[in-house]
Structure 1
Amino acid sequence: MEGAEEELERRSKFLSSLILQKKKNSNNNLYDKILLDSQEFDTTYGPAWHCIVGTSFGSYVTHSIGGFLYFSIDKVYVLLFKTAVEPLDQ
């Protein structure tokens, strides 16, 4: 269980640094930077991550260990969770 807690802490720090970076770099290329960061995140942690950001929302998600993260910075809340990726039948 310690490994899962350490991984969640590492992911939380990564996401917090992304949010702080976005606050500092709020210019016209913000969309491009977010897209590149999300691709980097998928490369590092695998595909099928879903992110909900807001000041007030409710949710109910099913997840596995190491696939769920919920935190806040100031009054902005972030819910990040991973779903299974299944190949399409050809």
Structure 2
Amino acid sequence: MADDTDDTDSDLVAGERRSDLLAALSYVSTDYGPDGEYIVNGDLPPEVAPPFIRAIMRVEAELLLHDAELVTVDNEEPRTPDERRTDAFVALVLRIDDRP
């Protein structure tokens, strides 16, 4: 049986094809907020959202496991869930851009 996948299809990032994640990122935009914060906006259509959501969740799970190792009596939670989700988004974008 012939292999119908090409090199880009076999290039996975957080368990998803890099090309699918790049397609989803094309719907993401950024703005500056009133206090200088960086706001990320994304209205992903249903046909591109699932791989992106799965990838974000996988990276967030990695960060959660890492955070669990940092929990001590003095340091109850290393980062909030919102901080962890933001960090997962940034980590995923960096991985997408990190070509072999």
User: As a proportion of its length, which structure holds more strand?
Assistant: 1
Short-chain TM bin: 0.3 to 0.5
TM-score after normalising by structure 1:
0.33
Bigger-Rg structure (1/2): 2
TM-score after normalising by structure 2:
0.31
